[in-house]
């Protein structure tokens, strides 16, 4: 699976440079205001109402702003069907795809299966970074340049939102993602390989990485809201873990 993950995220490495070049945009966004995002994303009268942003995200255009992407990405956590540990979509098709992901060259039929699965996953979870990557890959390989450009724009802005949330250098500046897998995806995109992970109370994941040409480093991720939403939906598990 590590090899497959690397293949899935390979094309994102180039995108990462573009995202981090937008320093002024990152500074303008800053860390998300979760209380405000929770309120606005669930208010039908708000311009940041999640279903409205979802419709805009799924459209084949590049009209969304950085602020809208921020409300859309983090607004994901305040939707009724949100589950940070949601099960994989269509596991049978995923198993068929694993050897295809590992190929150096893929046929048009292979790419058709990849796109079919990517669309299924994104219909269930629109911010799945890996399947957004696969969608872009297939469009590029099939020479659907305009569609590739549109969806790369969307992926770039999701990465920009994550990068703007924090540096990860310490708990006060922890990076915030909406799914645990995004921690690894984001670091992988940055050219780093995770070597270990540990939970640090009260609500941080700390991931050590190896970065080419440098010493081992580590990054903090704030999972407070992720845990809150999970235990709100699974209160029995909170009792089992002894959380108060």
Sheet with 204-211: list strands edge to edge: 192-200, 204-211, 217-222
Residue 11 pLDDT greater than 80, yes or no: no
Cα angle: 5, vertex 7, 11; to 5 degrees? 115
Sign of CA dihedral 47, 49, 55, 60: positive
pLDDT in the model for residue 234: 81
pLDDT in the model for residue 58: 97
4 compared with 86, residue with greater pLDDT: 86
pLDDT in the model for residue 6: 38
H or E stretch at 52: helix 50-58
> Strand, coil or helix: what is 114?
helix
- For the question of whether the overall pTM of this predicted structure is more than 0.85, the answer is yes
Q: Which residues contact 132 (CB under 8 A, 6 or more apart)?
A: 118, 122, 151, 154, 155, 158
Q: Are residues 118 and 140 in contact, defined by beta-carbon separation less than 8 angstroms?
A: no
User: What average pLDDT does range 232-241 have in this prediction?
Assistant: 72
Ranges of each domain in the chain: 2-166
pLDDT digits (tens, 9 = 90+) for 177-214: 999 999 998 888 777 889 999 999 999 999 999 876 66
Residue appearing with tokens 């590029």 = 140
Taking Cα atoms as reference points, which of 175, 132, 187 lies closest to residue 31?
175
Q: pLDDT-derived band of residue 236, with 50, 70 and 90 as boundaries? A: confident
What are the residues facing 211 on neighbouring strands?
192
């Amino acid at each position: 699976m590590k090899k497959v993950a690397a293949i899935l995220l390979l094309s994102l490495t180039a995108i990462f440079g573009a995202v981090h070049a937008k320093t002024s945009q990152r500074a303008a966004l800053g860390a998300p205001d979760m209380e405000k995002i929770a309120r606005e994303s669930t208010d039908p009268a708000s311009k940041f109402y999640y279903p409205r942003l979802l419709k805009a995200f799924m459209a084949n255009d590049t009209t969304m702003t950085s602020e809208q992407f921020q409300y859309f990405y983090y607004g994901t956590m305040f939707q009724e069907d949100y589950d940070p540990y949601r099960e994989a979509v269509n596991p049978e098709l995923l198993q068929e795809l694993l050897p295809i992901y590992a190929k150096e060259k893929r046929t048009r039929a292979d790419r058709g299966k990849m796109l079919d699965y990517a669309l299924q996953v994104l219909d269930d979870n629109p911010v799945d970074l890996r399947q957004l990557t696969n969608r872009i890959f297939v469009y590029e390989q099939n020479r659907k340049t305009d569609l590739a450009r549109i969806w790369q724009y969307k992926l770039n802005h999701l990465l920009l939102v994550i990068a703007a949330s924090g540096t990860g250098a310490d708990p006060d500046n922890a990076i915030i993602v909406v799914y645990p897998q995004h921690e690894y995806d984001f670091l992988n995109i940055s050219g780093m390989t995770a070597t270990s992970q540990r939970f640090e109370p009260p609500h941080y994941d700390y991931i050590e990485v190896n970065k080419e040409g440098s010493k081992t480093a580590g990054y903090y991720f704030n999972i407070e809201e992720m845990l809150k939403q999970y235990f709100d939906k699974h209160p029995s598990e909170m009792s089992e873990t002894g959380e108060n």
